[in-house]
Amino acid sequence: MIAKSLFKLSSCSVALMISLILGTNSHAATMTFSVVDYPPYILVDEKNNRISGMDVDIVKAAFASQGQEVSFNVLPWKRIVKSMELGLILGTVSCSKRASRDAFMLFSEPLSNVSRSIVSRTSLDTSQVQELSDLSKFSIVTVDGWGMQKKLIENELEHQSAPDLDSAIKAVMYRDVDLLYMAEYPARYSIKKLDIEEDLKVTSLINEPSLPLHLCISRDFPNATDILRTANKGLYTIKENGLLDEIRAKYLSHN
Amino acid sequence: MKLGQRIAFRQAKIILITSFLIGGFSALLQFYNDLTHVRENLTESIERSVSLYMPSLQRSIYNLDDQQVQSTAEIILADPLFSAVEVFDDFGDLKGRATQANYAPVNWLSNFSFSLLGIPRQLSRTIKIPSIVERDAKLLLSIDKQYVASGLTSRAVTLAFSGLIATLLLSSILFVVFYFALSKPIQEIARWVANLDREVRKEPMNPPYTKTDELGELVQSVEQIWHKKDRANRQIKALAYYDTLTDLANRRMFIESLEDQLNQLKSQTSFGAVMYLDIDRFKTINDSLGHQVGDQLLMTFAQRLKRSLPKDAVTARFGGDEFVIMLPAQYELEAQAVTSAKELAASVNALVSVPVQVGRHLIHCTTSIGLTTFPQKDDSSAHILRRADTALYQTKAEGRHGYRFFDVSMQRLAQSRWQLEEGLHKAISQQELELWLQPQVTVQGVISGAEVLLRWQHPDKGMISPLDFISVAEESGQISAIEEWVLEETLKKVKSWQEAGLPKTFRHISINISPSHFMQADFISRIEPILKKYPLDNIDVEFEITENLLIDNFAQATKSMKVLQEQGISFSIDDFGTGYSSLRYLNQLPINVLKIDRYFIAPINTLEDEAPIVDVILLMAKKLGLEVIAEGVETEVQRQFLAERGCRLYQGYYFSKPLHHGEFYAMICRQQVIVPSE
């Protein structure tokens, strides 16, 4: 009996040591995630060459809890997706899960949620807009390639696309586009940044469920599964120790 | 002249070909330059387009913004330079493509022109994308061949076409210019030159070209040459038809005039006359006073004839001192022509007789004239001249200074003389000449020598006396050959007699030498070899020369005689007493013998007869130490007469007639003494 227990304990210890070694080895180099500016989830300060944001900090903390350092670089969203498709980059942050991405992405536990909203001119009556289908009466713009666009397409809502969020906001502001279909927090962030809070308003689509945002890892990237495991473990850790909430509170209260 | 032969056409053709070649080369050069220029421009344009849109492409590819990439591709395609644009991202995926909607097939010319440019049909440019993919994006540009080449082609075609037009135009213009500037003037000049040669003009036709250029110089040169030629032709004509010394017509012109007359007389009946005259003893005057004086004399007589003769008379100088005058056939009756000719002959005699002063010489001349009328039956210019010449000869024979009309007897005489002359040419070769000898005897009758006489055994006429043919031989110039033959044959004969046996009493042999032969410049050089060939021992070879030879040619005769004397030759004066001699020469000349002419012997019939000349000759000879031979001794009385006066040598029929050499030798071998019988 004792021998069996000792054997089990030894085996577990050895396994633990091995996994720790392996785990340590696999997590030795800094890992880099490619991101886009998606405030407040991802904040790109090009001037100071600094990337931060809620989801960024969460991911950084999660991996740090596992002894893994991570870094971030900025790439265009489409390039991120395509590179992930080809397994050329590790992954990205704050990406939504969808069936089309399953083939080449691994999704971590949710980092945050994004609720959908519409941005319009203050003067526009949007009281009746509560769900996506209500948008059909308006001219719509969204950011090209983002999840919001997918939704519009799925719902067969005609729309324009803008290359980035600022352009989309400007389209509403200056180009006679009624609505910008956008995630709430990024929209508010941009409006604030553009200092046009008095001209534009953000209306939540209360009937639209919020969308979780994940850490997405390229399936074809080496050790993707291990990395995902590490990420999830880290998320669990920082959730348990309250760091996750701290980070969220930090960004959402500011927002 | 065919068009193709004209200078203007040939020049235009050369210019056309040259222009085509130069133009073609120039066009090729231009095309090449154009090609290079187009290539450079094209490359520059392409690079400019690329560089212009590269940032946009980089950005849109980086963002994988398909729409933007497509939009940029379409903007690039807006440049007509490109027929298609493709953009590939750094993942190798096609992100944008734009193609010309109505891209027409390219024709072969554009294809060819494009190929000449050396630019690839499709260009690839790298688009640098900052990405983790170690690969660049790519921009593929397809060049619109038609667009690129069409400009080139159209320019080339335009160049070629305009060059062709320009060349044709230039050639046409130059053809016209050269035709009017060169061909036409040259043609006119050629026509003018041809007419110069064709027509007889005093002055050339007006020159067709008077400008001061190369053609003008050519025309001037031709004109000058024509003038020179014209002058030369006139001079030639003058030389051909006129005597240069006297300016009278020459033989040719005279004969042509005479033949013209004869031609006219075929259709009409009238008579004319021809006079053939020469100046008596002109040769003597020429030789003694010099040719300059002789020429002056002839010119003076020519002038006198020109002044005095009728205007329509044709006067000619036939050469030397011979003149011929023609009275044109304008007389109805022959008697009238005869009368006019006689009158004219008399006046010519008179005007020639007028003395002529030449320098310090006052020269007296006479003329002999032969006359004939024409036309006679079957007459020709040659016949007429021969008749006149024959008549002239007769005039001279009868003593000169006068005129004779031709008659038939003259013709016969002339014919006979001509026959003798012709016969003499063959006489030596056909061995028709014979040596005869007449003995020369002493007082005692001893044959001491002989005179060599010539006989001609004519095959038709029989024996011809030297009296008949020697004068003919002298006049025809054959005397030299005959006498040299006589000398050689004589010496050879006597030599053979010596070898065969000859009486010692035979001491000398006399050979006659005519004056014309003796006075020839090469007489001595021709005689000496003969003398050397047949040397005779103990026999004097004696040349008999006439008194007149010495009178007329004293200095030269003296010189020749002295040279021959040194060779052993003796000289005797033949027919002494008959010439106009000066006694001075008897002392100065190397004479050995005097031969008293038969003329002085013949009158002696009795011993009491007076023969003062004979006495004088004998006395003179005695005083001078000369031998004397009396010729023509025919009687005993004459022999005795001469013997009493101291003449020691005789020759004549009394002793012996001339004998054939064979007969002579036989006689002398037989008897050395001749006992004559009356």
Q: For residue A104, what pLDDT is reported?
A: 95
- For the segment B643-674, what is each residue's pLDDT rounded down to a tens digit? 999 999 999 999 999 999 999 999 998 877 77
Q: Do B63 and A83 touch (CB under 8 A)?
A: no
- The CATH T-level fold of domain B251-406 is Alpha-Beta Plaits (3.30.70)
Contact B271, B334 (CB under 8 A): yes
Number of cross-chain residue pairs from A and B with Cβ atoms under 8 Å apart: 26
Q: Which of chain A's residues have a Cβ under 8 Å away from the Cβ of B65?
A: 76, 78, 144, 163
pLDDT at residue A15 in the model? 46
Residues contacting B155, CB < 8 A, separation 6+? B31, B34
Residues 136-175 of A with CB under 8 A from B: 144, 163
Task: Give the list of residues 6+ apart from residue B529 with CB closer than 8 angstroms, or none.
Answer: none
Residue ranges per structural domain of chain B: 3-168, 199-241, 251-406, 424-670
Q: What's the CA gap between B185 and B177, in Å, rounded? A: 12
**Cα diameter, chain B:** 186
Tokens 């004219």, residue located: B344
pLDDT band per the 50, 70, 90 thresholds, residue A19: very low
pLDDT for the residue B396: 85
β pairing state of B82-88 and B137-143: antiparallel
Looking at residue B202, the DSSP 8-state letter turns out to be S
- Report the residue count for chain A: 255
DSSP summary character for residue B4: G
Report the alpha-carbon distance of residue B650 to residue B448 in Å, rounded: 10
In order of their start, the domains of chain A are 30-113+211-254 (3.40.190.10), 116-204 (3.40.190.10)
Nearest to A163 among B63, B131, B133 (CB): B63
pLDDT at A23: 46
Pairing relationship of beta strands B137-143 and B271-279 according to DSSP bridges: unpaired
- Strands annotated E in B114-166: 122-127, 137-143
CA B239 to chain centroid: 13
**Out of A82, A144, A163, closest to residue B91 by CB:** A82
**Cβ of residue B505 closer than 8 Å to a chain A Cβ:** no
- Nearest CA among A153, A152, A207, A156 for reference residue A182: A152
Among residues B453, B560, B437, B428, the alpha carbon closest in space to that of B506 is found at B437
Q: Which residues of B touch A88 (CB under 8 A)?
A: 132-133
Residues of B in contact with A91 (CB under 8 A): none
| Interchain CB contact of A193 with B (< 8 Å) | no
Are A163 and B91 inside 8 Å of each other by CB? no
The residue assigned the tokens 């005097």 is B594
Please report, as a single letter, which amino acid is at residue A228. Answer: L
Residues in chain A with CB shorter than 8 Å from the CB of B63 are 76, 78-79, 163
Q: Name, in order, each residue with C-beta under 8 angstroms of A176's C-beta and a sequence gap of 6 or more.
A: A139
Distance (Å, whole) CA A114 – CA A94: 9
With CB atoms and an 8 Å threshold, state whether B133 touches A88.
Answer: yes
Mean pLDDT in consecutive groups of 10 residues from the start of chain B, 678 residues? 76 80 81 83 87 91 89 92 93 92 76 82 90 84 85 75 82 83 85 74 71 88 86 84 91 94 89 92 85 92 92 92 93 89 92 90 90 90 92 84 83 76 85 93 91 91 84 84 93 93 91 88 90 91 82 78 90 77 71 89 89 89 90 92 92 92 91 71
The distance of Cα A112 from the centroid of its chain, to the nearest Å, equals 7
Domain topology for B424-670: TIM Barrel (3.20.20)
B619: which 2 tokens? 């006395």
Whole-angstrom Cα distance, residue B424 to residue B415? 14
Closest CA to B449 of B671, B647, B651, B666: B651
Closest CA to B595 of B632, B625, B645, B560: B632
Per residue in B272-286, pLDDT (tens digit) is 999 999 998 888 888
Q: Which residues contact B236 (CB under 8 A, 6 or more apart)?
A: none
- Map tokens 């020159």 to a residue: B207
The pLDDT value recorded for residue B22 is 82
Q: How far apart are CA B328 and CA B270, in angstroms?
A: 9
Residue A32 DSSP symbol: E
Mutate to test the interface with A, among B91, B94, B135 (most CBs of A within 10 A): B91
| Rounded CA separation A195/A84 (Å) | 35
Query: Which of B27, B33, B22, B38 lies closest to B162 in space, CA to CA?
Result: B27
Tell me the backbone φ, ψ of residue B83, rounded to 5 degrees.
Answer: -100, -20
Q: Does A82 touch chain B (CB under 8 A)?
A: yes
Using CA atoms of B5, B8, B12, B13 in order, give the dihedral in degrees to the nearest 10: 10
Say whether A163 and B132 touch across the interface (CB within 8 A): no
Query: Nearest CA to CA, how far is B57 from chain A (Å)?
Result: 14
* Residue A26: predicted pLDDT: 45
CATH number of the domain located at residue range(s) B3-168 in this protein: 3.30.450
Q: Which residue has the tokens 């028709």?
A: B432
Q: Does B62 contact A83 at a Cβ distance shorter than 8 Å?
A: no
Mutate to test the interface with B, among A75, A79, A80 (most CBs of B within 10 A): A79
Query: Is the CB of A89 less than 8 angstroms away from the CB of B64?
Result: no
Query: Do B544 and B513 meet the contact criterion of CB atoms below 8 Å apart?
Result: yes
**Based on the number of CB atoms within 10 Å of its own CB, is B335 exposed (0-12), middle (13-18) or buried (19 or more)?**
exposed
pLDDT at A2 over 90: no
